[in-house]
Amino acid sequence: MKRIPALQCLVLLLLILMTVPCLAAEEEPSEFGTLTGQARMYYFTQRNKTTGEDFDNIRESLAVGGFLKYETPWLAEYFGAGVAGYTTIPFLDMFNERDEGGTGLLSSTNQGFIALGEAYFKARYSQTEGRIWRQRIETPFINGNDSRMVPQTFEAYGVKSSDIEDVELSVYWVDKEKARDTELFVSMSEMAGLQGTSTGVFMVGADWQAMENLPTRFWNYYAPDMDNTFFAQLKYTFGEAEAVHYGILFQGVDQRSVGDERRGEYNTGEAGVLGTVGFAGWTFDVGGTVVDNSAGIRNSWGTYPFFNNMMSYAFNRAGEKALLFGVAYDFERLGAKGFTVNIKTGFGYTPDSGRSASFDRNEYNLNLGYQFDGDLKGLSIQNRWSYQDADNDFGGTDGYQVRLRLQYNFQLM
């Protein structure tokens, strides 16, 4: 990937300079449209054991960058457009060795890039809006996965409608995707590992608020000659928000090969239930998932939507049974508004024999976050830690991961 440091540094400088006066910027759009952005600095390292007790397999990056996005006002009440440029730039060579890339912050060799991540035309009528070409998409299995420097964006064509009360319907053809570590858009089938192919994905979804405290999601993804994925989610909450409150989350997925079955023949699924109890700033989670023995769940176009998706493991291998325990606390009650702590542990078990045999694995996550208020509203700090403990006797590898992100969201007009 070609490096263009002078241009990238200029873009970063402009981002920083434009951030300063926007501290007091109004959030209401002007008659000339909206200009929003984000400045981000990110450190990431994953270190695995390969021999002995040393964590000597290292991936490490430190990057700065962000995005600027302009969106026109609605023209004649029906038409509009938007464009967004994204950049990520290596910062300090000592953290960006070429052979220690693969973190997702930069290219695979720790080089920076600039991408035209969004460029779309939109039209609306009543509560229905259509968009064409490059755009961000956030759905269960196709999404931005914005946990590094630059999100995934897509070349897609579709409509979203809220004309039916309590229901949001979406119908899209998604043709290409730009991954987080490149400025290039490639076909959805290539992103799924089928090099030299040019197939997209047809997706349709319904987000239905069945009751005030029962939001549901039903999404289907059809990739011709690859597979069909159906995802369902139901979440029921009850109790008093200011006292003890409860939640029950069900998630399920059915995935099977279709057509020419270019990725092989498979028919699999996963189901999970999560229970939540919250009170006095505390939140406690207990959940479990089960994956069919025949095959693992394939997820090529975004972050995995299940609640047990940890920093490193998604616990979606063939035959994997997983347990999740979590506890979180919001320090607002103690006078530290914006400061949160979240601890999660996941335990994954697979068969010891047969075609689904694999190593058992556990993961432990610590998440620390702080969002500033007042004059520094929009500024946030996130620090995340992960330790991965895998059964070495069956080929597993232990490792740890550290993420530190400083982010500032702003609006210039």
d(CA 257, CA 4): 42
Q: Which two tokens stand for residue 126?
A: 């009543």
Nearest to 220 by CA among 236, 238, 232: 232
Least confident of 9-23, 108-122, 199-213, 389-403: 9-23
Per-residue buried b or exposed e for 300-325, using 16+ beta carbons within 10 Å of the residue's own CB = bbbbbbbbbbbbbbbbbbbbbebbbe
d(CA 68, CA 106): 18
Q: Indicate whether 23 pLDDT > 80.
A: no
Give the residue-averaged pLDDT of 326-331.
Answer: 98
Least confident of 19-33, 68-82, 85-99, 111-125: 19-33
Residue with tokens 């006095």: 280
d(CA 65, CA 114): 9
Q: What is the pLDDT of residue 242?
A: 85
Q: What is the pLDDT of residue 3?
A: 44
Q: What is the pLDDT of residue 28?
A: 67
Nearest to 135 by CA among 88, 39, 69: 69
Helix (H) or strand (E) holding 6: helix 5-19
Cα 237–238–244 angle (5° rounding)?
Answer: 115
d(CA 171, CA 157): 9
Give the residue-averaged pLDDT of 344-357.
Answer: 94
Q: Which two tokens stand for residue 272?
A: 């999970």
Q: What is the DSSP string of 350-371?
A: --SSSTT----EEEEEEEEEEE
Per-residue buried b or exposed e for 344-356, using 16+ beta carbons within 10 Å of the residue's own CB = bebbbbbeeeeeb
Confidence of residue 12 (pLDDT cuts 50, 70, 90): low
pTM of the full structure: 0.94
Q: What is the DSSP string of 240-301?
A: -TTS-EEEEEEEEEEEEE-TT-TT---EEEEEEEEEEEEETTEEEEEEEEEE-SS-PPP--S
